Copies of this chain bind each other. A is one copy, B any other.
Amino acid sequence: MGKKDKQFVAEITPMEVDFAQWYTDVILKTDLVDYSPVKGFMVIKPYGYAIWENIQKYMDDRFKETGHKNCYFPLLIPESLLKKEAEHVEGFAPEVAWVTHGGQEELAERLCVRPTSETIICEMYSKWLKSYRDLPFLYNQWCSVVRWEKSTRPFLRTSEFLWQEGHTLHETYEEAQEETLQMLQIYKETAEELLAMPVVVGRKSEKEKFAGAHATYTMEALMHDGKALQAGTSHNLAQHFTTAFDINYLDRDGELKHPYHTSWGVSTRLIGGIIMVHGDNRGLVLPPGIAPVQVVIVPIAAHKGGVTEKVDEIFAHLKKDIRVEVDDRENYSPGWKFNEWEMKGVPLRIEIGPKDIENQQAVLFRRDTLEKEVVALDQLKEKVQGLLGDVHNNLLLKAKNMRDEKTYYIKNFDEMKEIMQTKPGFVKAMWCQERECEDKIKAETAATVRCIPFEQEKLGETCPFCGKEAKVMAYFAKAY
């Protein structure tokens, strides 16, 4: 590597030195995102947006396979609607943006920019639902929402973010519960099979659940710095909103009833998760499923020995099934290009020069292992397709290992405090499930209950934090 190459790498602060600065360096230098003139609002640049499009495509297909249809509800919600469900307004009112004027006129009633759409959607559902024959309602929307946040970081917590929100109605509690868990399962598969990001799934504590929910389910991923990321939630809202919004239907038995209700969402936050689970000190490491460029071809000495022609041929051959690009910029050296594409996290690089053409071969570089291998040209496409799968599997495995290394058991509160101070990660512990205990844990360690996992282990009889009887095993961590 030349001098220029070394300078290139040094632009990203090592994560061991300052993880927050590492994150900021990565997202800005790889052109995922930029800050906007409005504090807390981000601009998603084409490279970042292409990741979101790939996530959208996968998830939208999964939603449609399971019978959901997309629609679009208004951006602005009257204050009176937001107030209809008591817990909901209490949770969201402090963080909404208010529209008070339309054109030159002051509005008779303030409108909030949607922080989430349960209220406006329930208002419409109350108009649409007549009979049990209409059920289930299985609708989703892709949109942006606004929550006025004091402290923000691109992708992880911003005053505006992009997401999808599913809103469904069902005849019975059981069907609503089944839907809630089905969507959580789709989220888990998205995380693991598309993003190579292992997650723990389970239920939120009463304190941490969604404002207005009967029960909230979550998937939680562990980042490189040992902090957890809530990566997607699915809520069984039971009849809380359908009662408040007076949604009724004529049931099979001729009685008017309130349907059961779910909502579920994931957001551009997932991109923050991808960065912090897979990234390293060279920059991004993107899972092949969502990488905007899965393979980059860098010609070496492009003007010699038919390199350009061969590169064009390889490009044309790969293009149909793989997101491939050729970097034929003339004013950059191959070494510079290697570093840039490594920083941008492209899973595979093909290097090909006159020597390679003589030998009917190319060099394949893997971003995840930093390993190179020589491949015969007539096996290139097969090899590339196989390696993209290998990269995914390796990223998922590495992330699982990282998580396991940072997952601890504790015997008492002192151990918990020490872990959270010195080597944060997931702590698995029995818990009494009491609010007072939960508040104390947070106050003294900054950790919160991330979830009560579906996969329970019996680690003891008492709550190690307060000594009372243990009810469940839970995951605790500091969180984004």
Contact = CB atoms under 8 A, between A and B. Distances in A.
Given A36-B124, A113-B113, A148 B102 contact: yes
B148 A43 contact: no
A8 interface: no
Contact of A36 (B34, B73, B146): B73
B99 A113 contact: yes
When all copies of this chain in the complex are counted, the total is 2
A42 interface: yes
Contacts of A75: 41, 75, 113, 144, 146, 160
Q: How large is the interface on A (under 10, 10 to 19, 20 to 34, 35 or more residues)?
A: 35 or more
A116 B106 CA distance: 22
B43 A124 contact: yes
A160 B50 contact: no
Contact of A74 (B52, B100, B160): B160
B70 A46 contact: yes
B97 A71 contact: no
Given A98-B99, A100-B100, A124-B43, A49 B72 contact: yes
Contact of A99 (B36, B46, B97): B97
A78 interface: yes
Nearest to A292: B69
Nearest to A109: B38
B96 A103 contact: yes
A97 B104 contact: no
Contacts of A103: 94-97, 148
- Chain A interface mostly: mixed
A25 interface: no
Contacts of A97: 76, 99, 101-103, 111
A76 B45 CA distance: 17
B36 A120 contact: yes
A338 B72 CA distance: 28
Contact of A38 (B36, B76, B100, B133): B76
A283 to B, nearest CB: 19
Interface in A247-304: none
Contacts of A120: 36-37
Interface string A7-45: 000000000000000000000000000101110011111
Given A76-B97, A99-B98, A69 B50 contact: yes
Contact of A143 (B113, B144, B159, B331): B144
Contacts of A148: 102-103
B43 A160 contact: no
A475 interface: no
B37 A123 contact: yes
A348 to B, nearest CB: 21
Nearest to A146: B75
A17 to B, nearest CB: 27
Interface in A102-139: 102-104, 110-111, 113, 120, 123-124, 127-128, 133, 139
A94 B104 contact: yes
Contacts of A76: 38, 41, 97, 113, 146, 160
Given A43-B73, A98-B100, A98-B101, 10 more contacts: A37-B120, A37-B123, A41-B74, A41-B76, A43-B124, A46-B69, A49-B70, A95-B103, A97-B111, A99-B99
12 contacts: A41-B75, A43-B73, A44-B72, A49-B69, A49-B70, A49-B72, A76-B160, A94-B103, A94-B104, A99-B100, A100-B100, A102-B159
5 tightest Cβ-Cβ pairs between the two chains A and B: A46-B69, A41-B74, A102-B148, A44-B72, A98-B101
